[in-house]
Structure 1
Amino acid sequence: MSNSFSNQLRSVIEWNNPKSDILFEKWTQSGDEIKNASKLIVGPGQGCLFVYEGKVEGFFEKEGLYDLKTGNIPFWTTIKNLMYKFESAHKVGIYFYRKAEMQNIRWGTPSPITYKDPVYNFPVGLGAFGNFSFRITKAVDFFINVIAGDDYYPVKAIQKVILSRITQPISDFLAKASFSYVDIDKHRNEIAEFSKNSCRNIFNELGFELLDFRIEGTSFDQETKTRIGRISDMSAEAQAMKELGVSYQDYQQLEALKNMAKNEGGGNLGMQMGAGLGMGQMMGNMINEQNQQQNTAPPSQSNPNDPMQKLQKLKQMFEAEFIDEQEYKQKKQEILSQF
C-alpha cells in the first residue's frame, strides 16, 4: 500500500499527502480494509472513484467527509454486498485523483516537426519546447480512456498524450503559413494558440482540459542548419558582388573556370591551359565592364582609365576571394606595366 495513504485507522479511506507528480493512484488492494471502512475523506483539490470489476460504479467530486455506513450512498452499499459474495479481494478498487490545476509542466518535441519552407522551398526540421497547464475535467472519461485501469498514473505520462496529438496541428499550421523559417520565433504565440484550440475537442473526450500551452523556444535539426548556412553564405556573396559591380552569373563562370584549371585529374593539359586563358580573359572583361560603367559617370568623377582605379578594383576582387594570389599578382603586373 502506498505511503501516501493513511493506514492508522482501517475504518478511514483517505489520500493523505499525495506526491505532487501523481494524477491518479489506487488506494488499496486489500478487500478487508474496504469492507471495514466507515468514512471517506476527500481532500481539497481531490476526487475519488469506486471501481468494481473494471467498471466505475460511482465517484465523489466534492471535498468533504463522507459516512459510508449511513446507507445514503447506494453504490457503496452495492459494492460491499458484492464483495461479501466473492472470495477475491481484488475486484474493487478505490482511485483518488487530483482535480487541482497542474501548472508549468515542461514539454519538448521528441523528434523534429517537418514542413516545407514556403519562401525558400526546402524541407525544415523544427524542434520546440515550452510548458503547459491542464486539469482533469471528467474523471470517469480520463480513467477509462487514458489510465485504462493502471494502479497509478504520473503527471509525466500526460506529456506523451498531449505531444502525440498536438504536434500534428503545429505541422499543419506551419505548412499553411506564409512565413519562412526566419519568422518562426515571432509567431510562437500564434502557433501555440492555434494548436491548443485544434486539440480542444480531442482532449475533452479524453477527460481533461488544456488550460495553457506555450512555446518558449525553437531549434532546427542539423540538415536545416546546413541549408540555412548555405543561404547565409550565398546572401553574403551576393552582397559583396553587388558592391563590386559583378553579376552572380559572372561569378559562377569564374568559379567554374578556376575549378577546371585546378583539376589535375582531368589529364588534358590543353583544356587546363585553355581554362586558364579563359579565366584571365574573363577577369579582364569584368574589369573592363566596371570601367565602362564608370565611363558613364559625370565628368566630375575621376578618370576611369586611371591604372590606380584598376588596381583598386583588382584588390577588391582578391580580398573577396574571386581570384587567388597568383591571379592577382599576374593581373596587377599587367596594370602596372601601363605606367
Structure 2
Amino acid sequence: MAFNFFRGQTAQVIQWDAPQPSQLLWQFPSPHDEIKNASQLLVGPSQGVLLVYEGRVAEVLDTEGLYQLRTDNHPFITTLLKLRTGFESEHKLKLYFYRRAENVNQPWGTAAPVKYLDPVYQVPVELGAHGNFSFRLADARRFFTEVAGLAEAYSVLQAKLLLQSRIAQTLATQLATAGLSYQQLDAHLTVLAEQLRTPLAAEFARLGMELTDFRLTGTVFDAVTQQRIGRVADAAATTQAAATAGLSYAELEKLHALRDAARNASGLAGAGAQLGAGAELARQLSASASPTPPDPAEQLQKLKQLLDAGVITAEEFAAKKKEWLDKW
C-alpha cells in the first residue's frame, strides 16, 4: 500500500507510445490528473500535445522532442497538505496527445439526395454524389474547444463523419451557381471539385481542420429524375426536329397522332387515317413553304428529318419523295 502511494508521487516519462492510425486525439491516463515535477514529456513524430491546466488549454506543443514539465504539484508537500481530499492536488493538469499526420483518402458520400434546379431543362433534379478527401488536425486548440471538449478520445472516423456532414450543403450551393446541366456534370467533375474545395476548406478550418485534398468521383441520379429528364429531352428533340422541318411543336404532335391512328386502326378506317396523315403532311409542308415555289431538294431534306425523327413512316416518305421528284 505504501509502495503504491509513493510510486504515484514520483516523476514519470509521459508518452503516446502506441498510437493507432484510427486515433485522432487521446488523453494520457492519470488517476488524479496530477503530473509531478521533473516528469518528462516525449512528443513523437507527427504528434502534438495539448496541456489543459486547471480547466483551460494552457499550451500546445506541436514540435517533436523531449520536454521537462513543471507544475504546481510538489509530491510530498502536496500529499501532506491534502490528506483530507484523498491526497489529490487542487492543481489539475490533463495531457491530450493528437495526431498531426495527414488522414488520406477518406471516402465520402451524400447521405440524402442533393436537390437543385437544372439550368437547361428547368426541372428539379435530385442526385447523390461521392468521392474522397484528405485532412489533418491543423488547429488543435480550436478543435479541442469547439469539437472534442473533454472527451478521453476522438477517432478519425468521428472527425470524418463530422466533416462529411458539411459537404452536402456546400455541394448543393455550388450546383445552384455552377450553371451545369444534368448532362454536363460528369464531364465537369474535376472542375466542380476544385470549385467546392475553397468553401469546404473554410468550413473545415472553423473546426480546426485543414482540407488537404478533395475529389468528386461520381454522381448518381434517382429514377424519378432520370424519367423526368428523359421526357423533357424527348420533347426538346421533337421540338428541334419540328423547327428544322418548318413546323411548330403542336403541328408535329398532330402528325404524330395521325400516324399512330393509321398504325393502330384496321381496314377502311386505317386506310382513311393513313390518307389523312398524308394529306395533313402535305398541307403542313405546303403551309410552311414561302410564297415562291418550294425547292424540291429542301422539301426532301425536311422529309428525311421527319423520317429520322419517327414522325412519318418509310412508306409516307417514299410517296412524298416520288411526288417531289416528279415536280423537279
**Same fold per TM (> 0.5)?**
yes
1:181 aligns with: 182
**The residue matched to 1:120 in structure 2 has which SS?**
coil
- Report the alpha carbon displacement of residue 252 of structure 1 after superposing the two structures with TM: 1.9
- Report the alpha carbon displacement of residue 150 of structure 1 after superposing the two structures with TM: 1.7
1:284 aligns with: 279
- Report the alpha carbon displacement of residue 83 of structure 1 after superposing the two structures with TM: 8.2
What is the number of equivalent residue pairs in this alignment?
A: 294
Distance 1:296 1:256, change over 3 A: closer
- Report the alpha carbon displacement of residue 45 of structure 1 after superposing the two structures with TM: 0.4
Distance 2:165 2:196 in 1: 12
- Report the alpha carbon displacement of residue 53 of structure 1 after superposing the two structures with TM: 5.7
2:61 aligns with: 60
Offset from partner CA, 1:7-61 (integer Å, 9 cap, x none): xx99322112311111111221523885598322110000112335642233322
AA partner of residue 24 (structure 2):
L
Distance 1:188 1:79 in 2: 61
Point out the more displaced range, 31-40 or 155-164. 31-40
Q: Is the 8 A contact 2:139 2:209 kept in 1?
A: yes
Q: Is the 8 A contact 1:48 1:94 kept in 2?
A: yes
**The residue matched to 1:206 in structure 2 has which SS?**
coil
AA partner of residue 164 (structure 1):
S
- Report the alpha carbon displacement of residue 193 of structure 1 after superposing the two structures with TM: 2.6
2:26 aligns with: 25
Offset from partner CA, 1:108-151 (integer Å, 9 cap, x none): 11122211111111111232222222222221111111112222
Q: Is the 8 A contact 1:254 1:279 kept in 2?
A: no
Distance 1:173 1:276 in 2: 56
2:209 aligns with: 208
AA partner of residue 281 (structure 1):
G
**The residue matched to 2:183 in structure 1 has which SS?**
helix
TM-score computed with the length of structure 2 as normaliser:
0.69
**The residue matched to 1:145 in structure 2 has which SS?**
helix
Distance 1:66 1:207 in 2: 25
- Counting only pairs closer than 5 Å after superposition, residues 95-106 of structure 1 correspond to structure 2 as 95-106=96-107
Match among 285, 294, 297 for residue 296 of structure 1: 294
Q: Which runs of 5+ in 2 are unaligned?
A: 1-9, 320-328
- Counting only pairs closer than 5 Å after superposition, residues 194-205 of structure 1 correspond to structure 2 as 194-205=195-206
Distance 1:79 1:127 in 2: 59
1:157 aligns with: 158
- Report the alpha carbon displacement of residue 247 of structure 1 after superposing the two structures with TM: 5.5
Distance 1:226 1:285 in 2: 32
Offset from partner CA, 1:171-194 (integer Å, 9 cap, x none): 222212333222223333333233
**The residue matched to 1:175 in structure 2 has which SS?**
helix
- Report the alpha carbon displacement of residue 168 of structure 1 after superposing the two structures with TM: 2.9
Point out the more displaced range, 133-142 or 222-231. 222-231
Offset from partner CA, 1:211-250 (integer Å, 9 cap, x none): 2222122222222212222234345556777898876423
- Report the alpha carbon displacement of residue 82 of structure 1 after superposing the two structures with TM: 12
Distance 1:123 1:33, change over 3 A: same
Q: Is the 8 A contact 1:11 1:36 kept in 2?
A: no
1:169 aligns with: 170
1:270 aligns with: none
Q: Is the 8 A contact 2:258 2:276 kept in 1?
A: no
Distance 2:138 2:93 in 1: 24
- Counting only pairs closer than 5 Å after superposition, residues 4-15 of structure 1 correspond to structure 2 as 11-15=12-16
2:17 aligns with: 16
Distance 1:81 1:106 in 2: 52
Q: Is the 8 A contact 2:121 2:229 kept in 1?
A: no
The alignment's C-alpha RMSD in Å is: 4.5
Distance 1:77 1:162 in 2: 38
Point out the more displaced range, 212-221 or 224-233. 224-233
Distance 1:126 1:37 in 2: 59
Q: Is the 8 A contact 1:251 1:322 kept in 2?
A: yes
Point out the more displaced range, 22-31 or 278-287. 278-287
1:193 counterpart = 2:188: no
Distance 1:54 1:202, change over 3 A: farther
Distance 1:18 1:92 in 2: 21
Distance 1:286 1:82 in 2: 108
AA partner of residue 20 (structure 1):
P
Distance 1:206 1:52 in 2: 22
Distance 1:81 1:185 in 2: 69
**The residue matched to 2:49 in structure 1 has which SS?**
strand
Q: Is the 8 A contact 1:115 1:125 kept in 2?
A: yes
Distance 1:252 1:219 in 2: 33
AA partner of residue 186 (structure 2):
D
